[in-house]
Amino acid sequence: MTTVVEVRDLRMRYGDTDVLTGVDFHVEAGEVVCLLGPNGAGKTTTIEILEGFRIRSAGEVGVLGHDPATAPEDWRARTGVVLQSWRDHPRWTPRRLLDHLGRFFEPYSEPGRPRPHDTALLLETVGLTEHADRKLVTLSGGQRRRLDVAAAIVGRPELLFLDEPTTGFDPQARREFHDLIQRLAAAEGTTILLTTHDLAEAEKLATRVLVLAGGQIAADDTVDGLARRVEGEATVRWRVGAERRTAAVTDATAFVRDLLDTHGDALADLEVRRASLEEAYLSLVRRHESGQQDAAARLFTEVAR
């Protein structure tokens, strides 16, 4: 396997605020890696540094063998960035825009990796054939986002970046988008790095999940691996009189025995639930948002073990 992305001790500081305080990770060719974390954790900052759009404060970053901050234009031809388009090119049609952007890649065509993609085929792939000649301003949000993906892959990138690609999607659009990403990864062997705060999305797409919290990577594992780590954890809920209580415990059976011994008949509405990855993640987010970033990161590492 070849390492496509290599990040060591990446730091980013805006003014007095440290957003990244030493991020380490790597991505191998063909992987679909999901960078997960609450809003403000630095996901976008990280991915923009890797895209070469933002200059880091410190640390080492290698993407496809180059430092993105100084990479030459032919490096750009090997990467794809799905931008959150908003209202650019309102008068252009999808066909015209993809054709225009694709031609920039013509000088970088290689044997075995012809660049760019054929426009008509690409429109077909993202399901925009019937809208190919409409003005962009008339496209729906979901259609525009699929065009964003098409624009990002028009140059047949080896590495594709997606920053919160499905924000604002309805469930059907989200499903279609996930299918598209999976097809891409399978058919072209494209390495994909995406950010999200949606755990279900990470679960569906990622071969590996990186959790970013407190400015560092709090967890780095496969989805299955993370799920396995929280097995044995449980949430116990009960009521004594009017007072409702919740506790997260490791040995639920022993805990419940104690509860019964202590409260006897006063104990009511007892409920024991095995903790899921989602709950562990949510508690991380809650603590993070209440300002206890470091504690949250520690907690998650503990819970995950």
| CB burial readout 4-18, b (16+ within 10 A) else e | bbbbeebebeeeeee
Q: Which stretch binds another protein (CB under 8 A): 26-34, 72-80, 211-219, 278-286?
A: 72-80
Examine residue 104 and tell whether it contacts another protein (CB under 8 A): yes
Under the binding rule (CB under 8 A), the answer on residue 112 touching another protein is: no
| Binding-site member from 80, 94, 165, 215 for another protein (CB under 8 A) | 80
**Residue 67 found at the interface with another protein (CB under 8 A):** no
User: Residue 34 Cβ, how far from another protein at the closest point, in Å?
Assistant: 18
The span of 86-94, 186-194, 219-227, 280-288 binding another protein (CB under 8 A) equals: 86-94
Cβ neighbours around 109 below 10 Å, total: 13
Nearest-angstrom CA–CA distance, 68 and 88: 25
Which ranges of 15-155 would DSSP assign to H, the alpha helix? 43-51, 73-76, 94-103, 119-125, 141-153
Q: Which is nearer to another protein, 135 or 298 (CB)?
A: 135
Which one of residues 25, 105, 177, 300 is an interface residue with another protein (CB under 8 A)? Answer: 105
Judge contact between 161 and 51, C-beta under 8 A.
Answer: yes
Write out the two tokens for 303.
């819970």
Distance CA 25, CA 23 (A): 7
26 binds another protein (CB under 8 A): no
Binding region for another protein (CB under 8 A) out of 40-48, 60-68, 232-240, 241-249: 40-48
**Total residues contacting another protein (rule CB under 8 A)?**
34
Applying CB under 8 A, the span of 23-31, 70-78, 181-189, 244-252 interacting with another protein comes to 70-78
Residues 147-206 that bind another protein (CB under 8 A): 151-152, 155, 163
Q: Identify the sign of the CA torsion 136, 140, 142, 143.
A: negative
In 111-197, which ranges are continuous DSSP H helix? 119-125, 141-153, 171-188
Decide if 36 contacts 226 (C-beta within 8 A): no
Among 22-30, 47-55, 121-129, 207-215, the segment contacting another protein (CB under 8 A): 47-55
- Report d(CA 106, CA 108) in Å as an integer: 5
Measured from the CB atom, is 148 or 176 closer to another protein?
Answer: 148
- Alpha-carbon gap, residue 303 to 297, rounded angstroms: 10
The rounded distance, in Å, linking the Cα atoms of 128 and 133 is 9
Q: Does the footprint of another protein cover residue 107 (CB under 8 A)?
A: yes
How far apart CA 297 and CA 271 sit, in angstroms, is 27
Query: Which stretch in 17-25, 49-57, 200-208, 209-217 sits in contact with another protein by CB under 8 A?
Result: 49-57
Does 100 bind another protein (CB under 8 A)? Our answer is yes
Q: Which is nearer to another protein, 51 or 176 (CB)?
A: 51
Q: Report which secondary-structure segment, H or E, holds 116.
A: none
Q: Is 13 in the site for another protein (CB under 8 A)?
A: no
CB of 113 to another protein, least distance (A): 14
How many Å apart are CA 199 and CA 287, to the nearest integer?
A: 17
Region of 212 please: left (phi>0), alpha (psi -120 to 50) or beta.
beta
Where on the chain is the footprint of another protein (CB under 8 A)?
Answer: 44-45, 48, 51, 53-54, 73-74, 76-77, 80-81, 83-89, 91-92, 96, 100-101, 103-108, 151-152, 155, 163
